[in-house]
Structure 1
Amino acid sequence: MHTPSAPILTSFSNPEELVDSLARFILKAQRESIEKKGKFTIAFSGGSLPAQLEGLIGRPGVKWDKWQVFYADERIVPLDHEDSNHHLCTSVLFSKVPIPHANIHPIDYALASDPEELADAYEKELIREFAQKDSARFPVFDLILLGVGPDGHTASLFPGHELLSEEDRWVAEIVDSPKPPKERITLTYPVINHAARVAFVLSGANKAETLREVLDNPEAGLPASRVRPISPGQVYWFVDDAAAEKVQYPKTPFKL
C-alpha cells in the first residue's frame, strides 16, 4: 500500500510572488504532463482561487489547446449565475486566454432538478476523459487546485458530512451544504487523493487559524487535512506570510 507523502508548504512574502510562483508551478506540471501523454488534466475549485491564477494570462508556454478542465466542485446553479464556479473561472481566466470551449467541462444544468442524476452525468464526463485510457480504479488528474474555507472544508467536502467517508463514487451530490447554495456536486476523496498533484492556495490573515489547524493538528480531521495523495502523488500549499503566521509546520523554499 502506498503511503501519502508529507505536504509541502511554501510561504510567499507578497501576493504577486505567490501568483507568479503558482503560475510557474502549473506551467511545469503542464509541460511534464504533455510530454508524458500529450495533454494536461486539471480540476478547479472556486472561491478566491481563480483570481490567484492571473499569472497564467499571457504567459508564454501555456498550451491551452492541451488542457482538459474539470471542476473539483460546483454549485447547482445556472452556468451564468454569480454563484457558479464555472462562471467565476470564465470571468477571471477562461475569457482572457485562448482555451478551446470544448476543453472546459461544466455541469449539465438541465439536470438540476435531480442532483444525483447531475452528479452521475458529471462522473460519466470524467469516465469519457479518463477510463478509456487509464487502467486505474479512479481518474488520475495531473493537477487539482483547491482552496480552504474557514471551517476547513475543501471542494464541497464539509466537516462532519457523510460524504467524507465516500469510497466508491467519483462525483457525489450534496443537497444539504452548510454553506449556500445547498445543492452542489463535488469530487470525492478517492479522486482527489489519486491526483498526481494537489495544490492548495490560501492568502490572508483570516486563513491563518484554519491553516494552523489543518497542518499542525491533522488528527482533528478537518476535510482539508484528509487530502493526502497516495504516493507518488504530492500535495502542495501555496500561501502568503499572513496566512502562514500561526503555522509551526516546516516551510520549504519554492523551487521548480
Structure 2
Amino acid sequence: MNKRVEVLANVPSLVQRALELILSQMHTAISQRGKFTIALSGGSTPKPLYEAIAKQQLPWDKIHVFWGDERYVPPNHADSNELMARCAWLNHVHIPTNNVHAVPTLSGNPAVDAAKYEEHLQTFFQTTSGEFPSLDVVLLGMGDDAHTASLFPHTAALKVSDRLITVGNKDDNQRITFTYPFINAARNVIFLAAGANKRPALAQVFAPVADDFTYPSRLIKPQGELVWLLDAAAAAELNP
C-alpha cells in the first residue's frame, strides 16, 4: 500500500488539494482506459469540493459517478447523499443520465436494494460474483468515531468480506454501503478529514496497534494509493 498524509492549512486548501488530485487521476484514467470512475462520500466537507468540480470544463461523457454509501431515504430526502451531490455538482453539468449510478433506496428493503446495487456494479464493470472491480477514486470521510462510508464501529457490515455492497447500521438507521474489501480494490482512496473533533479518532487510526472493529477506518488499506488530506486542526496532535 502506498500511503501518504498531507496536512493543509484549512478546509479551502484541503478542498483545492482534493480537486487537484481528482483531476489528475481523471486525466490518467481517461487517457489510459477511456473513462473515469469515482465513488462519492456524503457529509459537509466534500460539498465545496463537488461545487468546485462543477465549475470545471470536463469530458462529462467519460465520467461515471457512484456513491460509497447512502442513507436509506428517498433520493429527494434532505439527508440523501445523492441529493447533496446533485445540488452541489451534478445538476449543474451536462453529465449523461446513465453516467450517474445512484444507490437504489425505494424497495422498502435495504438488503434487496444493496443486492440490486451490487448487481448493477457487476454489470457495469463486467465482473462476476467474488470479483472486486477497481474504481479509479473512492472519496471517503471519517466520523469522530472513526467510521467511514457506512462502516460503523462494531457493526455487522465490518465482517462482510465477500460482497461489494452491504447494509450498514447507525443507531438503528439502516444505510447501504461499500464493503471495505471493495473500497480496498480501488486504484486511489482519498480521505478528507477536517476539524479538531477528528483528533482522537485519527490518533487511533494511525496508531501502530488498535482494534479495527472499534476504529473502522483502519480497515482501509487499498491495493492502490491511499491519501489522507487533513486540515491543520485535525492533524495538530498527529505524527503520521
Q: TM-score band, normalised by the shorter chain? A: over 0.9
How far apart, CA to CA, are the structure 2 residues paired with 1:8 and 1:98?
34
Q: Which runs of 5+ in 1 are unaligned?
A: 250-256
Partner of 1:208: 199
Residue-pair matches, total: 237
How far apart, CA to CA, are the structure 2 residues paired with 1:240 and 1:114?
38
How far apart, CA to CA, are the structure 2 residues paired with 1:75 and 1:39?
27
The Cα shift of 1:220 comes to 2.9
Q: Which runs of 5+ in 2 are unaligned?
A: none
Structural mapping, 1:214-233, within 5 Å: 214-217=205-208, 219-221=210-212, 222-230=215-223, 233=224
How far apart, CA to CA, are the structure 1 residues paired with 2:31 and 2:180?
27
Q: What whole-Å deviation, never above 9, does each CA across 1:93-141 have from its counterpart, x for those lacking one?
A: 2123332222111122331x22111100000110111125x99821100
How far apart, CA to CA, are the structure 2 residues paired with 1:196 and 1:106?
21
Aligned residues of 2:66 and 2:101 also touching (Cα < 8 A): yes
Given candidates 1, 9, 20, the residue that maps to 2:16 is 20
Aligned residues of 1:81 and 1:87 also touching (Cα < 8 A): yes
Q: How high is the TM-score relative to the length of structure 2?
A: 0.92
Report sequence identity in percent: 37
Letter in 2 for 1:148: M
Letter in 2 for 1:44: L
The Cα shift of 1:80 comes to 0.5
SS of the residue corresponding to residue 70 of structure 2 reads strand
Given candidates 73, 79, 95, the residue that maps to 2:75 is 79
Q: What whole-Å deviation, never above 9, does each CA across 1:193-250 have from its counterpart, x for those lacking one?
A: 01000000011222222222211355332111110012xx11101111111101111x
Does 2:147 align with 1:153? yes
Q: Over aligned residue pairs, what C-alpha RMSD do you find? A: 1.9
Return 75-84 or 47-56, whichever deviates more. Answer: 47-56
Partner of 1:120: 115
Partner of 1:236: 227
Q: What whole-Å deviation, never above 9, does each CA across 1:43-99 have from its counterpart, x for those lacking one?
A: 011012431413323224x32221111110111111000111101111122123332
Does 2:109 align with 1:106? no
Structural mapping, 1:1-256, within 5 Å: 4-5=1-2, 7-53=3-49, 54-60=51-57, 62-111=58-107, 113-131=108-126, 137-174=131-168, 176-178=169-171, 182-217=173-208, 219-221=210-212, 222-230=215-223, 233-249=224-240
